[in-house]
A and B are shown apart, each in its own frame.
Chain A
Amino acid sequence: MTDRHAGSGLKSRGTKTLQDMNYEAPTSVEAAVAALAAADDEAHIFAGGTDLLVQLREEMIRPSLFVDIKRIIETRTITVDDTHVRIGAAVTGAELSEHDTAKTLLPGVVEAVELIGSAQVQGRATVGGNLCNASPAADSVPALIAAGAVAQIAGPNGLRVVAVEDLLAGPSRTNLSGNEFVVSLDIPKPTTRSADAYLRFIPRTEMDIAVVGAGAAVTLDADGICTASRLALGAVAPTARLVPAAAMAMIGKKIDDTVLASVAAAARDACNPIDDKRGTVAFRIHVAGVLAIRAVKIAIERAEAK
């Protein structure tokens, strides 16, 4: 096959055809790690495929190997214990949104996942895939960061744990090494009077990609004072980012309009967006503040209702 292209000037990835691509579907974490270890660096983890297959079709990638992780039980289950909600990396959006406990405990994470793609895409698209595709505009990611999610990562040296905000390196880039993959996401189980929310801005009402996304989680005490808070933004920087200054503005206070104005200011300060086909710098910065306020307000309403 390669001979026929000799001297053609095609880039190396272009010399591969679909016939050269291999597919494996291991049934254990260890077998998946072994498959990755044996492959070259053009192997891809394959979960729902809703990003990967499009990239393949658009010739953005020509993988040597797809490692399908959907037959590994740990990637396909949602478990809830006393301290955590664990969402398998290959759990689909539709499965998550039909999981009543997850929906009750983490409404912000679930509503973010539900915004990915369309009803059809929801049947395939996975939480882990949305994270590892590493789009700065991924809807689930700010919600996961706000909720305090950490990724369970499998590799040749066993499991390691990384906070979601530390997993992302840049557009389409993670800090995973070539033979690692995300098995599941662990999210602390919200306590009483603790809740999350996610909002995004798109110029339409669905079937679009976030121009700005904002995830918020708040914990209130009996007097309505904020005791813990996390705010995260998407689509306003190379990666989704946590905004500690917004949390600082809220913690220890009753969240009134003055506090919310500080939250918006902190959110806007954290923005480092670009002008592109989806939005302008000025618009993204302004709307980040607007959505930060609105997401925090929804999280407070939910926390108060508990």
Chain B
Amino acid sequence: MNEIKTPRGGSNYQWVGKNTPRPDGVDKVTGRARYGDDMIVPGMLHGKILRSPHAHAKILSIDTSKAEALDGVKAVVTSADIPDHPMAQPPYPPIVNDFHDISRNVMAREKVLYDGHAVAAVAAISEEIARDAIKLIKVEYKVLQHILDPREAAQPDAVVLHEDLFTYGVEPKPTKPSNIFRVMHGERGDLNAGFAEADLVIEREFSSQPVHQGYIEPMACIASTSEDGTVELWTSTQGHFVQRTLLSKLLNMEMAKIRVTASEIGGGFGGKTTVYAEPLAIRLSQKTGRPVRMTMTRSEVFRATGPTVGSKTRIKVGMKKDGTITAGEAEIWYQAGAFKGSPIGRAVDTFFSPYTVANCKAAAYDVCVNRPKVAAYRAPGATMACYPMESVVNELAKELGLDPVEVRLKNAVKEGDESLMGTKHGRIGLVEVLEAVKEHPHYKAPLGDNEGRGFAVGYWLHGGGLSSAAVNLMDDGTLGVATGNPDIGGSRSSMRAMAAEELGVNVELLKPIIADTGSLGFSYLTAGSRTTFATGMAVVNATREVIDKLRALAAKKWDIPVEDVRWDAGQAIATDNYKDIKPLSLKELAGMATSMGGPVAGHSEINASGQGATFCAQLVDVEIDPDTGFTSTKRHTVFQDAGRAISPDYVEGQMQGGAVQGIGWALNEEYIYDDKARLQNTGFLDYRMPVASDVPMIDTVIIEVPNPNHPYGVRGVGEPPLVSGPAAVANAVENAIGQTMSDLPLSPPKILAALHAQAAGDD
């Protein structure tokens, strides 16, 4: 199904690049796979959270006595049970984990800051009693004025969420608190000269709404604590090692006493990269001496877990008649939600990054509003910046009578160019991606009535970082491959393929698992499209250590120097000097290992670097019903540089999944609040993510421009398809209705209103 283009020749790999049966497949289709809520521990209690009905209010008092007196209730916790922490101080890293904020987000302290903010939690012998008990908790509030829009919240006279928050990075140092946490800038060249050089300059404003990751499995965990201070936690997470770090710092506990096991995970998309109920479950378990399970409802997930940011943007771009982009200027306001920490750095880096714009400037504001604190969502911070830039580039190309793909080729970044935030590109594949678009039949296919075609390209610099892996050889020649990264997108398959390729044995001999935090070195989140790249490097290292040990074992057996033993196709082979020594297979060596020195295993703990930029372009055809404003996506093709697709069917799945999420983001997904800022659409019925029948078969073209810094050339693939998706869909709508649209989502009422305004203007 997937088309793979490898411009620099194919590979001779046996397992890398092949589709093999999924290692997690059988248990998932039979229902045997254990997700967060599937764990049952003897004696366990059920936890429930009382949540704020107000978007912004002072907590005057909390009376838990009646809840505590209810039969079956074993404990109640409030913010008094969660340690407080001082505010983080500058210099700030790109992602600030401020325990002052985390403590207040998991349990409101002085104030509630959004509808759904946790106020208290109960553990009881049944879910029903726990539900009844939280209704018996009496909370007195003083309701305050709320604010939802980031640009309004950035005004000097806006109601302030945090009296102790002063904007960082501006001179002179502010004396008044503000909702703006900080401003990030990037600049190069001479903006005035750049705009003067342009034949056409377009300036527009855009907005986008917060959208939820929509993972199918709600957050669920079970905490079991011991009188000796140890904690066992089972949770649905994208990073159990990061959970351990956060919990240790938040709850002032020793890391070694916290053992976290990642359950099978039903999707995360960035949303499961922090803590929500876990610290409450631990505290309730400590208070009761019993295990406590907490599972969020879908409504709680929508009200209280982080979506991605909503945004407001002002952007101005200049272009010459030949298509050269001469200058670009952008300002963007991100709504961080109740606490600081939206991905503004990515915004600055994203705007102009696919292009060699000599003169450009970008500023991004991190603004607190009365919404749930944002979390990562698949290319956090990039999508909302890609959408305005790509829209304006398309409009410039159209106005100047230029082909949109040729315009991108003219300005495309190449090896040696630098992004606005200073990433110097190595070998990258933007040109190859754009050439693949031009060659594809979709690009020139005819369009029907009321149809429009959209195009956009997106840039994403994926992650590297801390990863660990262990490869354990068993006596019978089978192997365990352990990593510390929850598998959200097929990483077990890719780890297995890379290890099998190194060893030269069938993938079916290898069993990939996710080890708990007590069993392996630290591994950063499964996030940032980093796992196949970074953890894959650790697996390759660990496998090579196994191979070296097996060569040494063969050398010992043969009584020859280890340098004279090479490894090939699953066996140790003596060099040509030893004509009568027969090779020893992996299985034979495994059988003799324990009696000849001991078990054979390899492990690797690394800080992976050398990640490269990834580009993803999308072509989308939509049809608009002119009488209702309904948009139907008719055809969608995704073109992406994967470096090397280790497991092509999973790569295809990532590209299709990202495209589908982009369709939802562009067309229908939004949070709907009432006039008191209470969320109205807290379920999938009214939070309108696409369903299967809403999307066409999404075609994929995988381009392989290998990253020379990875043993197999891997680039991260999970996030890039969501960078350019909404921009491409929005552009298709614009072309179908013949006017610009600047306010996502482009839902039917908005499109219909635009069509009516257009008709009124024509009269």
Contacts and interface: CB of A to CB of B under 8 A. Distances in A.
A8 B128 CA distance: 16
Contacts of A4: 70-71
List of 10 A-B pairs having minimum Cβ-Cβ separation, nearest first:
A283-B749, A205-B693, A290-B627, A277-B672, A277-B680, A207-B691, A277-B681, A277-B686, A203-B668, A205-B694
A203 B688 contact: yes
A286 B672 contact: no
Contact of A204 (B136, B627, B672, B691): B691
Interface of B: 66, 70-71, 128, 131-132, 135-136, 138, 627-630, 632, 667-668, 672, 680-681, 684-686, 688, 690-691, 693-694, 747-749, 752-753
B216 to A, nearest CB: 14
Contacts of B753: 282-283
Interface string A167-179: 0000000000000
Nearest to B695: A205
Contacts of A201: 628, 630, 748
Contacts of B688: 203-204, 208
A282 B750 CA distance: 11
Contacts of B628: 201, 287, 290
Given A4-B70, A17-B128, A283-B752, A278 B686 contact: yes
A9 interface: yes
A203 B135 contact: no
B49 to A, nearest CB: 15
16 contacts: A8-B136, A9-B66, A9-B138, A10-B132, A10-B135, A201-B748, A206-B693, A277-B672, A278-B686, A279-B749, A282-B749, A283-B629, A283-B748, A283-B749, A287-B628, A290-B627
A10 B630 contact: no
Contacts of B667: 203
Contact of A14 (B132, B685, B691): B132
Contacts of A205: 632, 691, 693-694
A59 interface: yes
B694 A204 contact: yes
B691 A206 contact: yes
A246 interface: no
Given A201-B628, A204-B668, A279-B749, A8 B691 contact: no
Nearest to A278: B686
A43 interface: no
A192 to B, nearest CB: 32
Interface in A15-35: 17-18
A209 interface: yes
Given A8-B136, A18-B128, A209-B685, A280 B749 contact: yes
A8 B134 CA distance: 12
Interface string A214-257: 00000000000000000000000000000000000000000000
A209 B688 CA distance: 11
A211 to B, nearest CB: 8
Nearest to B627: A290
Interface in A33-63: 59
Contacts of B128: 17-18
Interface in A183-212: 201, 203-209
B390 to A, nearest CB: 24
Chain B at the A interface: mostly helix, strand, loop or mixed? loop
Contacts of A280: 749
Nearest to B686: A277
Given A14-B132, A279-B749, A283-B748, A203 B680 contact: no
Chain A at the B interface: mostly helix, strand, loop or mixed? loop
Contacts, number: 67
A109 B499 CA distance: 59
A249 B680 CA distance: 39
Contact of B747 (A5, A10, A203, A282): A203
A276 B673 CA distance: 10
A2 to B, nearest CB: 12
A209 B71 CA distance: 40
Contact of B630 (A59, A203, A209): A203
Contacts of B752: 283, 286-287
A17 B127 CA distance: 12
A1 to B, nearest CB: 9
A14 B681 contact: no
A263 to B, nearest CB: 14
A208 B689 CA distance: 10
A300 B748 CA distance: 27
A205 to B, nearest CB: 4
A59 B131 contact: yes
B748 A203 contact: yes
A170 B632 CA distance: 34
Contacts of A286: 752
A11 to B, nearest CB: 9
Contacts of A283: 629, 748-749, 752-753
Contacts of B672: 277
Given A204-B693, A283-B752, A287-B627, 17 more contacts: A4-B70, A5-B70, A10-B135, A14-B132, A59-B131, A201-B630, A203-B747, A205-B694, A208-B688, A209-B685, A209-B686, A277-B681, A278-B686, A280-B749, A283-B749, A283-B753, A286-B752
Given A204-B690, A204-B691, A8 B66 contact: yes
A65 B474 CA distance: 60
Given A4-B71, A59-B131, A10 B136 contact: yes
Interface in A60-75: none
A4 to B, nearest CB: 5
Contacts of A17: 128, 132
Contacts of A279: 749
Nearest to A15: B132
Contacts of B136: 8-10
Contacts of A206: 691, 693
Interface in A272-306: 276-280, 282-283, 286-287, 290
Contacts of B668: 203-204
Contacts of A282: 749, 753
B211 to A, nearest CB: 15
Contacts of B630: 201, 203
A12 B39 CA distance: 35
B721 to A, nearest CB: 21
A72 to B, nearest CB: 31
B343 to A, nearest CB: 28
B668 to A, nearest CB: 5
B300 to A, nearest CB: 12
Contacts of A276: 680
A14 B136 CA distance: 11
Contacts of A18: 128
B634 to A, nearest CB: 13
Nearest to B133: A8
Nearest to B670: A277
Nearest to A18: B128
A208 B693 CA distance: 12
A208 B684 CA distance: 9
Contacts of B747: 203
Contacts of B71: 4
A271 to B, nearest CB: 15
Nearest to B66: A8
A295 to B, nearest CB: 13
Nearest to A7: B66
A9 B135 CA distance: 9
Interface string A70-98: 00000000000000000000000000000
A176 to B, nearest CB: 26
Nearest to A276: B680
A206 B694 CA distance: 8
Nearest to A58: B299
A210 to B, nearest CB: 12
Contacts of B693: 204-206
Interface in A139-168: none
A280 to B, nearest CB: 5
B282 to A, nearest CB: 28
Contacts of B632: 205
